[in-house]
Amino acid sequence: MTIAIKYGALVDEPIVDEFGELAIAGGAGALVSRLLRIFPEACLVGFEDQQAKDFQIKRLVSLDAEKDLVINLDVMDSVGVFQVLHRHGAEPLIMNLQWLPPRHYHHRVNFAAMGISYALFPTLCSGERTATEVAEVAHRWAIAPLANQARIAWFQPGIRDDLLVARVATDVPVVLYPSIHVSPEKQPKTFMSILSRVAAKVPLQMEAHLGPRDLVTLQAMRMSSPRWAKVGPLSAERENYWESLAHVTAFVSTSQEEAYGLEYLEALLAGAVGIFPKLAWATSLLPTRYPFVYQSESQAAEMLEQVLRDPDAARAALDEAAGGSLKEWILTHHARATGNDAIIRQVATWFPGLA
């Protein structure tokens, strides 16, 4: 009996590199890697059977359709996965893992596919907000007899600190664009407007590390045009990612909504000072007295200028708001082990035969 992790149906990039190591970037890569650690005997679903460096890759047709559980991050094709595994009459074991908010997609065909998938197969969501959206999509896009039987749960992902590296001082303060996407809900134009105000008063270097599709957009080109801006690709290596965070002074979130906000927690853990909008998703991540929460674009610019002029004082204010140490507060309130345990428990609840 095996757990098979499926991701990659909607992307062009390979899931492993020429060395047999996991090559999935961003949040998806982190989640797949995490699942492989939680379930050490798990395999990945791919287009050919092969042995990677630390795990196996199997085609769908190579799985045991009656015993193997497919944890599918490509939730829109779960019905297709069922059809492949069901071709000889087996009742396949399939669990959706919805790691992105459904609103990430924008076409009615996608929503219809997700709705029927949520209704037919149990769905574990990354964060409570995502679970709420999943339930809404199921009830809107699937027929009532199916939608009413939808099984939806969520876990708090939590954060790891084992890759954390020591802070690196920079001559010019570095401000991070804290997302790999430039989609409208991230409001990159607002982000650049805030930074433009501050850059006229304080020397700064803006850095953005974008996913492949976002990197070639017109918005990314516009973001790279100021002399103080640097826009480049997202590193596939988690170690390089944490090394880049080590020299970030501050970041400004302009996102309208987030499923969880892992990128922000990681940047805070690395010692960057975060400036957040006064929205429910943001305040739920932070200590109650967190000082850098803005209600207007001009207020965000004022806060960023304050932080860049005296970063040490800003970090001291964060520690005070957390009751002594923001790092310890994050690791306590967003414990990764708690999230791992929740995943294991939910799999065992929905698929007791796997135990």
Q: What is the pLDDT of residue 109?
A: 95
- The pLDDT of 144-171, averaged and rounded, is 90
Question: Is residue 263 a contact partner of residue 179, using CB atoms and an 8 Å limit?
Answer: yes
Tokens 């000889």, located at residue: 88
- Element (DSSP H or E) covering residue 192: helix 188-199
Tell me: do 178 and 311 sit in the same domain: yes
Question: Is residue 70 a contact partner of residue 4, using CB atoms and an 8 Å limit?
Answer: yes
Tell me: do 328 and 193 sit in the same domain: yes
Tell me: do 238 and 274 sit in the same domain: yes
Beta carbons within 8 Å of 25's beta carbon, 6+ residues apart = 13, 211, 212, 234, 235, 236
- Report residue 148's pLDDT band, with 50, 70 and 90 as the boundaries: very high
Q: Encoding tokens for residue 188?
A: 């990159």
Bridge partners, residue 16, by sequence: 22
Bridge partners, residue 22, by sequence: 16
Q: What is the pLDDT of residue 38?
A: 93
- The pLDDT of 192-198, averaged and rounded, is 98
Domain span at 129? 3-158+336-354
- CATH number for the domain that contains residue 220: 3.40.50.2000
- CATH number for the domain that contains residue 36: 3.40.50
How open is the CA angle 172-176-181, to the nearest 5 degrees?
150
Q: Encoding tokens for residue 44?
A: 């990945």
Chain center to CA of 62: 30
Tell me: do 205 and 310 sit in the same domain: yes
Tell me: do 131 and 206 sit in the same domain: no
Tell me, yes or no, whether 265 lies in a domain: yes
Asked if pLDDT for residue 355 goes beyond 60, the answer is no
| Amino acid found at 308 | L
Tell me: do 127 and 221 sit in the same domain: no
pLDDT tens for each residue of 50-80: 998 889 999 999 999 999 999 999 999 999 9
Tell me: do 117 and 43 sit in the same domain: yes
Tell me: do 180 and 306 sit in the same domain: yes
Q: What is the pLDDT of residue 206?
A: 98
Q: How far is CA 313 from CA 187, 247, 273, 275, 319, in A?
A: 28, 17, 10, 14, 10
CA separation for the pair 246, 291 (Å, rounded): 22
Asked if pLDDT for residue 23 goes beyond 80, the answer is no
Q: What is the pLDDT of residue 115?
A: 97
Tell me: do 101 and 51 sit in the same domain: yes
Q: What is the pLDDT of residue 258?
A: 84
The number of distinct structural domains making up the chain is 2
CA separation for the pair 138, 203 (Å, rounded): 49
pLDDT tens for each residue of 289-329: 999 999 999 999 999 999 999 999 999 999 999 999 999 99
Tell me: do 140 and 151 sit in the same domain: yes
CA separation for the pair 232, 30 (Å, rounded): 20
